[in-house]
Structure 1
Amino acid sequence: MNSNEKKTQPPYYSVIFTSQRTEGDNGYGKMAQAMEELASKQQGFLGIESARDNELGITVSYWESLDDIKRWKENSAHKVAQEKGKKEWYKNYNVRICKVERDYSF
C-alpha cells in the first residue's frame, strides 16, 4: 500500500483493476488523481497501489469490507469516471475482488 495506507490486520478486501489504455491522455491523468483523492476519503478505504507500462496498467485498492467496495463503485463521481473510461480511456479492463486472508512484507 502507499503512503495513504491505514494499518489493518487481515482479513480485508482488494479490488484489482487491470487495463489497457487507448492512445493519448484525454483527461485521464487528472481524473485518475481526482479518483484516488476521492477514494481515500471513502469509508473503509485502506490504501492503493498502481503501476503502468506501455501495455498494461494495474491498480489495487484495499478496503475493509465488501459493502465499502460497493459504496465506492456506486459513488456518483466514480460512476462518471467509469463511463468515461468505457467510452474514451480503456481498450479493455478487468476487475477482480479478493479477500486478503494473510499479508506479510520485507
Structure 2
Amino acid sequence: MDLKKPYYAVIFTSLRTEGDQGYAKMAEEMETLARKQPGFLDIESARDGLGITVSYWASLEAIADWKANMDHKQAQKNGIKTWYSWYKVRICRVEREYKFNK
C-alpha cells in the first residue's frame, strides 16, 4: 500500500464483549460501506484479544463524513450497547512512512 502523502489514519483500538452477537456481519458491512465513501483509501485490521483497525483517508473531511454516515452511526450505537467493553479512536496525519519487504 503506497498512498499519496499526506493522508490520515483513523486508529480504532478495542476490547470486545463475549460472543459474536452479529459483530462479524456488521464489521464486514461497515468495511464494504467505508470502501464506497469518497476519500477512503484503505484499511488494515488485526485482533488477538485487543483489536486494532486502521482506516486510511484522504482528508479530515472524509473522516467526518464517514463518522456521520447513518449506517455507521447505527453500528457505533450497537458497538457501545453490545460489542465493545472499551474502545479508543485516534486520528493521525501520516506524513512519512517506510517499509521492509523480503
TM-score w.r.t. length of structure 2: 0.95
| Residue 79 (1) aligns with residue 78 (2) | no
Written as runs of structure 1 = structure 2, the 5 A alignment for 1:88-103 is 88-103=82-97
Task: Read off the aligned partner of 2:62 and give its amino acid letter.
Answer: D
Structure 1, unmatched stretches of 5+, are: 2-6
Aligned residue number for residue 14 of structure 2: 19
Q: How many residues align?
A: 100
Structure 2, unmatched stretches of 5+, are: none
Instruction: Report the alpha carbon displacement of residue 8 of structure 1 after superposing the two structures with TM.
Output: 2.6
- d(CA) in 2 for partners of 1:19, 1:29: 14
Q: Say which SS state the counterpart of residue 9 (structure 1) adopts.
A: coil
- d(CA) in 1 for partners of 2:81, 2:53: 19
Please identify runs of 4+ aligned residues in structure 1 that moved more than 2 A: none
Give the one of 21, 25, 36 matched to 2:31. Answer: 36
| Residue 9 (1) aligns with residue 4 (2) | yes
- d(CA) in 2 for partners of 1:82, 1:88: 10
Percent identical among aligned pairs is 66
Q: Deviations over 1:41-100 (max 9, x none)?
A: 0000000000001x2000000000000000000000000000000000000100000000
- d(CA) in 2 for partners of 1:38, 1:61: 12
Task: Read off the aligned partner of 1:49 and give its amino acid letter.
Answer: E
CA RMSD of aligned residues (A): 0.9
- d(CA) in 1 for partners of 2:3, 2:74: 30
Q: Say which SS state the counterpart of residue 10 (structure 2) adopts.
A: strand
Written as runs of structure 1 = structure 2, the 5 A alignment for 1:37-56 is 37-53=32-48, 55-56=49-50
- d(CA) in 1 for partners of 2:68, 2:97: 28
